[in-house]
Amino acid sequence: MKKALVLGASGGMGYSIVKELSARGISVIAFARTRSKLEKSFAADSKVTIFPGDLFKLDDLREAAKGVDVIFHAANIPYEEWEAKLQGLISNILTVAKEESVKLAMVDNIYAYGRAAGKKVNELSPKNPHTKKGKVRLQVETTIKDSSVPTLIAHFPDFYGPNAENTLLHHTLKDIVRNKKSRYVGDQKIAREFIFTPDGAKAIINLALNDEAYGQNWNIPGYGVISGEELIETLRQIRNYDKKVSTITKNMIRFLGLFNAGMREVVEMFYLNEEPVVLDGQKYERFIGPIPRTPYKEGLERTLKYMISPEN
C-alpha cells in the first residue's frame, strides 16, 4: 500500500488510522466534511493531503479516490439517519471502489451480533440483531459481500482515544478534564469492553496490508473488560479527581428522547450497557499475531493528555 483514502478522517477511529498510516510512511488522503477540523488535525503532516467533501456526492468520492490502493471507511452519520441514508452511503463507496479498482477496509461496530448471552463472539457466531440499528448494519454487510469489491470488515467495541469525541466515554472524560462532576452511561458495576483507537488503527492497517484478509470479517477486541467503577478509579488516580460520577440510566435517556431524536435512537442500544458484547480476537491472532492492546491506564492517560493539550 502506497496511498490510502480515509473516510471520516476527523472522527475518532479515522483520525487514528490517518496518523498510523502516516507514521508507516504511507501517503494519505484525509476525507471529511469540515475543512477546519481536517486542517487542525493534519495540516502539519507532509504525508497527509486533506480533502473536504461529502460522502453522498459521487464526484467528491471519485476525486478523492484517484490513485489510492485502499479506502478505509471510518465515517458515520447520526443514528436517526441510518435507515434512510446508510445504504446509500455504502453504495456510493462501493461504486467508487469498483470504478477505481481499489480495496475497502471497513470499520464496523458490534450491533449486528445482537445479544450474546454472556459469551464471547467470534467471526462464526450467528448474527441475529434484535435492534433496528443492528439490522441496518447487517444489511450493509450483506450489500458489501454481494458486491465485487475486495473488502475486509473489522468489528470493534466502543472507542475511546485521541479525538474520539462521539463516544460514550468521552462524555465522562470531558467533565473529568474540567474537574467537574461527571456522569457514566450504564451500571458502573458491569464490566464491558472498550478499544483504544490507536490500537484499532494498527490492527485494521495490519489486516489491510495482507491480501488474504479481504473477503473476511475480523473481530478486534480491546484490552479485556473493565467495569465503570474500575475505570473511574483509574481516572481518579491519573487526575487526582475527587468529584462525584453519577450514573446515566436507560430511563434518563428515554426521557431525553422525548425532546431529542438522537436520544430516542440511543435507547434501543442501551442493552450493550446491561448485556455487554465481548469480542473474541483469536482469528486475528492466528492470522496476524498479537492484537495491539494498550492497558486502560496508559490509554486513558494518553487520551486525557490529548484532551488537555493547548492545541485542542
Q: What DSSP line would sit under 83-121, residue for residue?
A: HHHHHHHHHHHHHHHHHHT-EEEEEE-SGGG---TTSEE
* pLDDT confidence of residue 257: 61
Quick check: helix, strand or coil at residue 139?
helix
Grid coordinates given for 181: 462532576
Domain 3-163+194-224+277-294 has CATH 3.40.50.10320: no
Considering the chain, tell me which residue range(s) the CATH 3.40.50.720 domain(s) occupy.
3-163+194-224+277-294
Q: Are 7 and 75 in contact (CB under 8 A)?
A: yes
Q: For strands 191-196 and 158-160, give the pairing.
A: parallel
pLDDT at 264 over 80: no
The model's confidence at residue 253, banded by pLDDT at 50, 70 and 90, is confident
255: pLDDT strictly greater than 90 = no
Residue with the larger pLDDT of the pair 260 and 160: 160
For 6-38, the pLDDT digits (tens) are 999 999 999 999 999 999 999 999 999 999 999
**Residue 177: what pLDDT?**
94
Q: Is the pLDDT of residue 197 over 90?
A: yes
Q: How many CB atoms lie within 10 A of CB 124?
A: 8
Summarised one tens digit per residue, pLDDT across range 121-132 is 999 999 999 999
Confidence of residue 267 (pLDDT cuts 50, 70, 90): confident
Extended beta strands in the chain, E state? 3-7, 27-32, 48-52, 70-73, 103-108, 120-121, 151-155, 158-160, 182-185, 191-196, 216-219, 225-227, 245-248, 278-279
Give me the percent of the chain exceeding a pLDDT of 90: 85
- Residue 123, C-beta contacts closer than 8 angstroms, at least 6 positions apart: 216, 217, 218, 219, 283
Are the C-beta atoms of residues 100 and 63 closer than 8 Å to each other?
A: no
Share of the chain above pLDDT 70, in %: 97
For 99, other C-beta atoms within 10 Å of its C-beta total: 12
Predicted local distance difference test score (pLDDT) of residue 299: 98
d(CA 246, CA 274): 16
**Residue 88: is its pLDDT beyond 70?**
yes
